[in-house]
Structure 1
Amino acid sequence: MLKNQLYVICLLFCLGLFSCGGEATRNKNQAGNQAYQADVIVYGGNSAAITAAVQAARMGKTVLVVSPDKHLGGLSSGGLGFTDTGKKEVIGGLAREFYHRIYMHYQKADAWQWQKQEEYGNKGQGTPAIDGSERTMWIFEPHAAEAVFEDFAKENKLKIFRDEWLNRESGVKKEDGKITSIQTLSGKTFSGKMFIDATYEGDLMAAAGVSYHVGREANSLYGEEHNGVQTGVLHHDHYFKTNIDPYKTPGDKSSGLLPLISAEDPGVKGEGDKKVQAYNFRMCLSNHPDNRVPFPKPEGYDPARYELLGRVFASGWRELFRKFDPIPNRKTDTNNHGPVSTDYIGMNWDYPEASYERRREIIKEHENYQKGLMYFMTTDARVPADMQQELKTWGLAKDEFKDNGNWPHQIYVREARRMVSDYVMTENETVGKKPVPNPVGMGSYSLDSHNIQRYVKPDGFVQNEGDIGIGLKNPYQISYGAIIPKKAECQNLLVPVCVSSSHIAYGSIRMEPVFMILGQSAATAAVMAIDKNIAVQDLDYEQLKGRLEQDKQTLSQPKKAL
């Protein structure tokens, strides 16, 4: 009898249908497609996904990363190199390790190909770019960030399936309130004990039947002030400071509106809507003659599309280069700035729930708009000559995004779906009006929403709406309850990016360091729930807190040195 049992076990090993643990397993499912299994399945390829996978691996679990992306790191390697740090002292764990590795990269002489290190201005966002005392660096080139994520993957032996897209229609299987497997469009099936949705869009969360929200909530829902429609609220400098006529023939409504202006009513101040803050690409530009590619003329380019910007220049606006934020090697992280800039306002409202095909169209539309914007400003006579001449010294960085025509591989999805769980982070928690239970990380950036719509005011002039910037006095905690669904909806899913949050609170949470922090915390909770064979909602917080602190996560504001 024993001899027969050993024979069967050996046969199962040979067929790949039996595992004693330690490595993810693979076999053929009934349809003949490949099936894979691990303790933890991470869906996504951005910074949160990689930190989650690294943490699960370091805690001794098998983990598979199922990534729609070919490149690792999301926005952190996709052009957002001028990090939105907020208060850097609350950035701990793997996130801080990432920025330490960036620091170590730039300690090498060969990292400074186009600029001497001493020539770099060392300007960061509220902090020096290079923090020698803490051995961290917060500002970096896209390729440097991607290399760190690839090193994370290699060192921790992460198995990553790239260019694998969730079958959102029928690819999520659940039993007894738990996800058992997910399937991608290629036919691959991934089974696991725990699942982490680390995507910017929240596709796995939505397909698993978890509640979520798209757009702005009314201020009355959570007792907030800066959610909902914000007509008349003008923050930052991303609005029209002078009266700009919106019509093709100035003063003539019958001539129709200029491109880039919506004919819709903006809505009532304070009321909710389904509209989403603007997206753009964080371009990496260079002004080094040997590392600069002239701005390309996009397909279907029409200079008339940018007449509104021409009128802004004619009004005397001169802030074109305000957000050419310097990163090493004479490059920039170039972001939106001004009333008409790289944000393609109002053209992404359907993105969060759109099909993959429609999303690709939206992304391409954003790319063409932004490339057309840069081409317009370097070629059109409506642009003041002095600014145009300076802009011509800039171009796309030749040594970045080399497999994508030097264009960022990741659009800036500032906000898409947001989970609605038993606990919702709101403006009141971020500004300190309400305490936060069971923290698993901290945020500190200002409440920051980009514009959501561009409309015609009752006085007949154009204006933007939705841009909010509210500074915070202190960092705030982010609750464990915000990264787990309602127990009745799913017991083995964690959501560290599309967290349970109101629109305006998400305006602060949505920063790359925070996503890394929450990715690590989500994986820690997933592993501990596996070990205890319980739902993520039933995990003892004090035990979770102990492990997070052991791994150097910051869960409360550090005390200032006396």
Structure 2
Amino acid sequence: MKRRDFFVKGALGVVATSLLPVVANATPSSIDITLSDRSKDKWLQVGSGKQGIPNREQIVNADVLVIGAGMAGISAAVAAARNGAKTILVQDRPVLGGNASSEMRVTVNGAPQERETGIIEEILIENWVYNKQESYPVWDHVLYNYITRQPNLELMLNTQALEAIMDGDKIKAAICWQSTSETRFTLNAKQFIDCSGDGLLAATAGAEYRTGREGKKEFGESYAPDQADGWTMGDCIMMITKDMGRPMPFKAPDYALPFDHETAFKDKHRRIKQVKEGFWWIEVASEYDIIADREQNRHKLMAYFYGVWDYIKNSGDFPEAENIALDWVGSIPGRRESRRFMSDYILTQNDILNDPHFEDAIGFGGWSLDEHNPGGIENLKEPASYFHQKSEKVYEVPYGILYSKNIENLSFAGRNASLTHIALSSTRIISTCALMGQAVGTGAAICLQKGINPRELRSKYMNELQEQLLRDDVFIPNRPAKDSNDLAKSAMAIMASSTLSGDTKLLVDGVSRDRGEEIHHWEADGLDAELQLEWKKPVKISKVELKGDTNVLRRIMMHKNPQKNIQNEQILDVPPELIKTASVEARVKGQWLEVAKIEENITRLMKTSFDQVSTTAIRIKLKETWGAKNAKLFEIRCYS
């Protein structure tokens, strides 16, 4: 492989490289934005009998604009909207979910050591309410329902962000084209978040980025290649099969490429262990510009895939495939890597394996370093995956990798964050990307409130961002909550009707999950359990918030192959430990008054809001779970 390391600054300049042609290929210096010119449009509207020019141009204003509605973009948009920002979420496909959508069907994996909570968990649990049949097309609509009901959030599907309009080092607007309505949108905003993966908006804004693999010496990464090069991890397509109960012949399409199984199977990772779902190692990468090669690689992926399937069906080596037929094959490749935008910090292999503490931590990752063969299926002589270097525990993800170092009001989340190629091999996992999204969405809302940009937020207001994330049920390792506005921390006593394990005092210790042998919960002996908080002097309260139990050590995602759920002893429903029904009472002038009810709850974070009362005691009645015998909580908060 030739050394083609390049570092691109925006659309016009290249730093530390003589490869000038890459600029034209990676980021056009100018974009034709006259897509809405309809001056020659001869429209006769027969209902009115008049001829006119269609109105195909709109200007829309928002506080926050999020580009890309994969799980990172969804989390960013929901977080920004919930924290008071008028938000627009732009997606270039007709469905939500990105790689996790029905178009690509990548499993929503996360850290194997312990599960992510917050917005990503809300969505995964909600899927088990509406989609017990584990249908990916229905999953698309679960996401659509989740997004469209959020206050302050507007969704634009089938819309491509083409170009950033700049005011110095700030983005003023994004020029977008909505293919279904033939409309050019100018979307004005104050904060911009690019979660699109490839990051076209960020690139046209001039945000510094890099592609390819760093050499060992640049960051001291032992798993990096000796010399930097231009390779990225490859795209792949997935498939799902169906047992038809009768022999199903298969004829390969004309463009299929023969599969060299003898060479391929010398690597254990390429051996075919099942015929139910797609093979991740059918991937095609690029040595120079994977974005420009997208359509070429898509065709090659389909050709290679059908070659593999032809071998499975017609070689005679897989008799178990006799009755198996293809039920779905992806037409859009799932992408692992392209642009990585530079921030004030670049996360590296050593940050993942050595697990340093970051004062600006906003979440965690835990997937192994998973470096794929850069040639993919076109390089069968090397292993499909070079290594899986696992961490014993989860590692911290810092906010300092999630905003642009040179564009003031631009953030990003997902695989386009400020990472080395080797670090990306771990952080690219979908639930880790979703935590990044929730952090930048929350951060954008705080930036608006304070009239600042992300860099200043990191230097002056990280405590506020972390406290809000913790309140919204994001877990940050080594960072307990210490919200001074939480009145529960000042309670004179917290009493329980019974205690089976843990202690009521742990409900205000700032840690909202058990960590190994460390207990941070209170569990009642049975249901109809009660908690009571007492204050020496009356306090004014209008919000009580609880964090329940969803068993973060159990998997919760949907799989393409339902048998995997059984193997992992996964419950295909709302977690039975979760509180379903509860109520909140306040003691006012010696009388207990019910101020809030929790019914049919499906979220770990249970927020109640009511007219403010002056009280010396709050009582929570935990009446029903989704199946567990005992009620368990990890946190209680009270606010005026």
Q: What TM-score results when the alignment is normalised by the length of structure 1?
A: 0.68
User: What's the CA shift string for 1:79-105, capped at 9, x where partnerless?
Assistant: 545443323635011011122123334
User: What's the CA shift string for 1:195-252, capped at 9, x where partnerless?
Assistant: 1101121222212111111111011111111122xxxxxxxxxxxxxxxxxxxxxxxx
1:541 equivalent to 2:462? Answer: yes
User: What secondary structure does 1:362 align onto?
Assistant: helix
TM alignment of 1:159-170, pairs within 5 A: 159-167=154-162
1:428 equivalent to 2:343? Answer: no
Alpha carbons of structure 1 residues 293 and 393: separation in structure 2 relative to 1, 3 Å: closer
Q: How many angstroms does 1:473 deviate by? A: 1.0
1:221 equivalent to 2:209? Answer: no
Instruction: Tell me which residue corresponds to 2:149.
Output: 155
User: Which shows bigger deviation, 78-87 or 64-73?
Assistant: 78-87
Q: Return the letter of the residue paired with 1:85.
A: G
Q: How many residues align?
A: 418
Instruction: Tell me which residue corresponds to 2:22.
Output: none
User: What's the CA shift string for 1:51-108, capped at 9, x where partnerless?
Assistant: 21122222222211221112110122245454433236350110111221233345xx
Whether the 8 Å CA contact 1:82–1:333 is kept in 2: the answer is no
User: What's the CA shift string for 1:422-479, capped at 9, x where partnerless?
Assistant: 101111111125332301111011011221137999xxx9334763311111100110
Alpha carbons of structure 1 residues 465 and 367: separation in structure 2 relative to 1, 3 Å: closer
Instruction: Tell me which residue corresponds to 2:74.
Output: 50
User: What's the CA shift string for 1:476-498, capped at 9, x where partnerless?
Assistant: 01100000111xx1111111011
Whether the 8 Å CA contact 2:248–2:322 is kept in 1: the answer is no
d(CA) in 1 for partners of 2:68, 2:311: 35
Alpha carbons of structure 1 residues 294 and 166: separation in structure 2 relative to 1, 3 Å: farther
User: Which shows bigger deviation, 410-419 or 543-552?
Assistant: 410-419
Q: Return the letter of the residue paired with 1:153.
A: I
* Aligned sequence identity (%): 22
Alpha carbons of structure 1 residues 37 and 86: separation in structure 2 relative to 1, 3 Å: same
TM alignment of 1:349-368, pairs within 5 A: 349-354=287-292, 358-368=293-303
1:531 counterpart (418, 429, 449): 449
2:242 counterpart (282, 286, 291): 286
1:298 counterpart (245, 250, 253): 253
Alpha carbons of structure 1 residues 60 and 454: separation in structure 2 relative to 1, 3 Å: closer
Q: How many angstroms does 1:553 deviate by? A: 0.5
User: What secondary structure does 2:85 align onto?
Assistant: coil
Whether the 8 Å CA contact 2:249–2:313 is kept in 1: the answer is no
Instruction: Tell me which residue corresponds to 2:409.
Output: 492
d(CA) in 1 for partners of 2:282, 2:462: 43
Whether the 8 Å CA contact 2:283–2:376 is kept in 1: the answer is no
TM alignment of 1:19-168, pairs within 5 A: 33-78=57-102, 79-80=104-105, 82-87=107-112, 89-105=114-130, 111-112=132-133, 140-156=134-150, 158-167=153-162
Alpha carbons of structure 1 residues 144 and 363: separation in structure 2 relative to 1, 3 Å: same
TM alignment of 1:330-479, pairs within 5 A: 332-336=276-280, 341-344=281-284, 346=285, 348-354=286-292, 358-379=293-314, 383=315, 385-387=316-318, 389-397=319-327, 406-408=328-330, 410-432=332-354, 434-453=356-375, 462-464=381-383, 467-479=386-398
Whether the 8 Å CA contact 2:56–2:184 is kept in 1: the answer is no
Instruction: Tell me which residue corresponds to 2:424.
Output: 506
d(CA) in 2 for partners of 1:409, 1:543: 43
Instruction: Tell me which residue corresponds to 1:12.
Output: none
TM alignment of 1:170-249, pairs within 5 A: 171-185=163-177, 187-228=184-225
Q: Return the letter of the residue paired with 1:495.
A: F
Whether the 8 Å CA contact 1:45–1:73 is kept in 2: the answer is yes
Whether the 8 Å CA contact 1:295–1:396 is kept in 2: the answer is no
Alpha carbons of structure 1 residues 316 and 98: separation in structure 2 relative to 1, 3 Å: closer
d(CA) in 1 for partners of 2:377, 2:283: 15
Q: Structure 2: where are the runs of 5+ without partners?
A: 1-54, 178-182, 479-512, 520-640
User: What secondary structure does 1:440 align onto?
Assistant: strand
Q: How many angstroms does 1:394 deviate by? A: 2.6
Whether the 8 Å CA contact 2:347–2:423 is kept in 1: the answer is yes
Alpha carbons of structure 1 residues 502 and 312: separation in structure 2 relative to 1, 3 Å: closer
Whether the 8 Å CA contact 2:298–2:332 is kept in 1: the answer is no
d(CA) in 1 for partners of 2:229, 2:269: 33
d(CA) in 2 for partners of 1:454, 1:32: 43
Alpha carbons of structure 1 residues 220 and 317: separation in structure 2 relative to 1, 3 Å: closer
Alpha carbons of structure 1 residues 479 and 323: separation in structure 2 relative to 1, 3 Å: farther
Q: Structure 1: where are the runs of 5+ without partners?
A: 1-30, 113-139, 229-269, 325-331, 398-405
User: What secondary structure does 1:374 align onto?
Assistant: helix
User: What secondary structure does 2:340 align onto?
Assistant: strand
Alpha carbons of structure 1 residues 320 and 390: separation in structure 2 relative to 1, 3 Å: farther
Q: Return the letter of the residue paired with 2:220.
A: G
d(CA) in 2 for partners of 1:537, 1:474: 29
Whether the 8 Å CA contact 2:237–2:333 is kept in 1: the answer is yes
